Structure 1
């Protein structure tokens, strides 16, 4: 929901940074791997209760996740790069709720529900991309990606904001997770309704 607005401000910064990496022949996939490693360190520090160090690694993970996509677009987006990027993102986003559970067992129920809601957003995200590509449905693209990007209440920006809130206000991370999960479920429902209407209109 906020991705387009944020991209307007971040795009020049990410492009400048990616242009420097391009000169040194650093590939987008290498940045994706580096970003994933940063995310794993975030999980480790989170599970050990080193919240603010984990937050730093999370911000770095998200920054370089933006860099790999920008770098890919400066060269040419590839299906393999898109595959690596999605797998990396989904794994990190799954590890974070688990990290909050290891940090505090009282977070078990809320983080478990959050993980369940991620299944809904991930499933609707990927199946929408697959079906739209299969049906060759032309949708206005707001950015050059290697796949169709399905919008919703919770996109990349909202996810980052909510996770940062969980890090900063870790005492109420469980409460934030309940809200986070609700928004994810609503996002999944919106996508189901939207895709159903589009596909039914084609019949």
Structure 2
């Protein structure tokens, strides 16, 4: 829901930095992998009981997630780069909640499982919509130039990062926040299913 607003705020400085990095030979894939490493480090720090400190690599990974696209636009865009970006995002989105489950399985296990299930379903509705949109040659630039067709929703990347920041700041509230965020993920997934039913009618 907030990705469009956030993009207008951060795109200009990221694009400028992307041009500089591309000119120095830095590739978008390298930035994506750096962001992935930062996100996985954050998840590991959470699992070992340091969610507050995990904010540093978590936010660094978030910046890298926006920067890789800027580097790609300034240098060379590839289909594999877009693919790698999505895979890295989904891996981090799963690893951070897993870190909280591993940190305190008794308190966080059920809520974490619910949250990860909601991420799984939400991701499926997003990717399947993108596949059908590609088959029909649909295009959108509502979220900028992307490798896949991006459907908006109640919860997007900005809201997910904000949620991760919140549970790192207040780890004792992971369970109620996870139940609530997971429920909203299911609402987002349902909205995509209803949109797909309207956009991709039978026949």
TM range (shorter): over 0.9
Equivalence for 2:97: 97
Distance verdict in 2 for CA 1:69–1:110, change over 3 Å = same
Query: In 2, distance between residues paired with 1:23 and 1:139?
Result: 28
- Asked if the contact 2:19/2:75 (under 8 Å) is kept, the reply is no
The alignment's TM-score, normalised by the length of structure 2, stands at: 0.95
Q: Deviations over 1:69-116 (max 9, x none)?
A: 111122243210011001111011111111001111210011100000
Query: CA shift at 1:140, angstroms?
Result: 5.6
Residue 54 (structure 1) aligned with residue 59 (structure 2):
no
Residue 26 of structure 2 aligns to a residue whose secondary structure is coil
Q: Deviations over 1:125-179 (max 9, x none)?
A: 1000000101223446441111100111110111111111111111111111011
Equivalence for 1:79: 79
Query: In 1, distance between residues paired with 2:31 and 2:182?
Result: 29
Equivalence for 1:172: 173
Distance verdict in 2 for CA 1:140–1:55, change over 3 Å = closer
Query: In 2, distance between residues paired with 1:180 and 1:141?
Result: 24
Spell out the pairing of 1:59-70 with structure 2 (5 A cutoff): 59-70=59-70
Query: CA shift at 1:194, angstroms?
Result: 0.4
| Structure 1: 5+ residue stretches without partners | none
Equivalence for 1:114: 115
Query: In 2, distance between residues paired with 1:139 and 1:38?
Result: 30
- Asked if the contact 2:42/2:55 (under 8 Å) is kept, the reply is yes
Query: In 2, distance between residues paired with 1:183 and 1:163?
Result: 15
Task: Looking at secondary structure, tell me which structure has more helix per residue.
Answer: 1
Residue 4 (structure 1) aligned with residue 4 (structure 2):
yes
Equivalence for 1:88: 88
Q: CA RMSD in A?
A: 1.3
Equivalence for 1:145: 146
Equivalence for 1:198: 199
The alignment's TM-score, normalised by the length of structure 1, stands at: 0.95
- Asked if the contact 2:14/2:67 (under 8 Å) is kept, the reply is yes
- Asked if the contact 1:43/1:96 (under 8 Å) is kept, the reply is yes
Which segment is superposed worse, 109-118 or 36-45? 36-45
Query: In 2, distance between residues paired with 1:183 and 1:72?
Result: 32
